[in-house]
Amino acid sequence: MRKSLPYGVPMCSGKESVLCFLFRIRDENNYHKKLPDMYQHLFGPVPSRRLGMSLGVDLIPHKICSLNCVYCECGPTTRLTRERKAYVPADEVYRELEDFFQKHPDPDYITFSGAGEPTLHVQIGDVISFLKELRPQIPLAVLTNGTTLSDPQVRRELMQSDLVLPSLDAATSLALKKINRPPASIQPETYIQGLVDFAEEFQGEIWLEIFLLPHFNDDEDNLNALKKAIFRIGPDRVQLNTLDRPGAVEGLHPMPHERLEEIAAFFDREGVEIIAAPPKRKESKAYRDDVENAILETIARRPCTLQDLEKLLGRHMNEINKYLGVLEERGEIESVEQERGSFYQLKTPPSG
């Protein structure tokens, strides 16, 4: 049996009144906010399929980005922009990092990621420098959509990082508009050239991610253009990915594994890999059973969207997504499409 909420959280049987519902949600919210280590700009460490246990650093409010990708698990972009500025105060990030490392063991990686494009923060280079002084032994990774790498200043700011994981899903205008939905100022030629220039200057590793969706970017023209772009960029790895969480639009389907294998073979170079699902996250020493139980307890009472869970649990969206992935892998929860988006609920056992 699953653990129930502790004494003091009201449970309403049958058809609850509006007042009872409001009290229950209030008290669930207060209970889950007692989970330790609540930070505004850090999340995790979370089990990452590529980086082990990764402490996330989020410099951008939800959901400010330079792309509006159809598959984004954080939902649609609410502010589509290429403007760089101090979206959150760097001093707050420094204080949270100092506090975290006073209380916790070192993670495998520190990763700049989140629900927006991290390189839009004008002080990302300063935060990287701060971390290199605070914890020089921990490798730093930056997850970026790559659209800002045409800016020489951005490239300079990332030079102290150890690993950069840019995305490139499309190398033709048609595919770029379909899958990434960029502002008009972002064109494939400058996008790719920025990646090429960065690869020539950067001394660390580059793992290029290509997110593939049927009928969005798997056409012959785009795959041929991507193959040429990969050759020009020369990344250390090319990682093929596809949908395993609800995206920003309805009706998306993952690329079948057999098709991913065909595309990997078509690219015909060393270092091409298909990113595997993360079935062993639960085994990680940093996997948080309290977070998992909080998710299960919440959706047992009513189905919730990712945004609902973020507000109720007080955890970062990216962190919650990692745990949702584990629970779906184990067949404990499922997502259903409703008018307000994808709702997570306990999986209904098969009848009979």
Report DSSP letters for 272-290, one per residue.
Answer: EEEPPP-TTGGGSTT--HH
In a domain, 338, yes or no: no
Residues 2 and 69 in one domain: no
Residues 55 and 135 in one domain: yes
From the list 59, 12, 38, 48, the residue with the least C-alpha distance to 310 is: 38
Residues 186 and 169 in one domain: yes
| Residue 327, domain extent | 1-34+288-332
Residues 310 and 246 in one domain: no
**Confidence at residue 34, expressed as pLDDT on a 0 to 100 scale:** 39
**Confidence at residue 185, expressed as pLDDT on a 0 to 100 scale:** 95
**Confidence at residue 3, expressed as pLDDT on a 0 to 100 scale:** 35
Indicate the DSSP class of residue 119: G
Q: In this structure, are residues 96 and 123 in contact, taking their beta carbons and an 8 Å threshold?
A: no
**Confidence at residue 276, expressed as pLDDT on a 0 to 100 scale:** 53
Residues 17 and 70 in one domain: no
Place of tokens 């770029």: 176
In a domain, 223, yes or no: yes
pLDDT by position in tens, the chain (length 352): 333 333 333 334 343 344 344 434 434 444 334 344 568 899 878 777 788 888 999 999 989 999 999 999 888 999 999 999 999 999 999 999 999 999 999 999 999 998 899 999 999 999 999 999 999 999 999 999 999 999 999 999 999 999 999 999 999 999 999 999 999 999 999 999 999 999 999 999 999 999 999 999 999 999 999 999 999 999 999 999 998 777 888 889 999 999 999 999 999 999 999 985 544 444 444 445 678 887 887 787 678 888 888 777 767 777 888 788 888 888 888 888 766 678 888 887 665 5
In a domain, 337, yes or no: no
Residues 269 and 245 in one domain: yes
Torsion sign, CA atoms 293, 298, 303, 307: negative
Residues 251 and 322 in one domain: no
Residues 198 and 299 in one domain: no
**Confidence at residue 350, expressed as pLDDT on a 0 to 100 scale:** 64
- Interhelix angle 90-103/124-134, rounded to 10 degrees, is 20
SS3 92: helix
Residues 24 and 100 in one domain: no
Place of tokens 């772009």: 229
Residues 114 and 130 in one domain: yes
| CATH number for 165 | 3.20.20.70
**Confidence at residue 233, expressed as pLDDT on a 0 to 100 scale:** 98
Residues 57 and 190 in one domain: yes
For the segment 120-165, what is each residue's pLDDT rounded down to a tens digit?
Answer: 999 999 999 999 999 999 999 999 999 999 999 999 999 999 999 9
Give pTM, 2 decimals: 0.74
Provide CB contacts within 8 A for 239, sequence distance 6+. 50, 165, 207, 208, 209, 210, 273, 274, 275
Give the angle 161-167-171 at the CA atoms, nearest 5°.
135
In a domain, 343, yes or no: no
3-state helix, strand, coil in the chain (%, to 5): 40, 15, 45
**Confidence at residue 85, expressed as pLDDT on a 0 to 100 scale:** 96
Residues 143 and 13 in one domain: no
**Confidence at residue 248, expressed as pLDDT on a 0 to 100 scale:** 87
Q: In total, how many domains does the chain have? A: 2
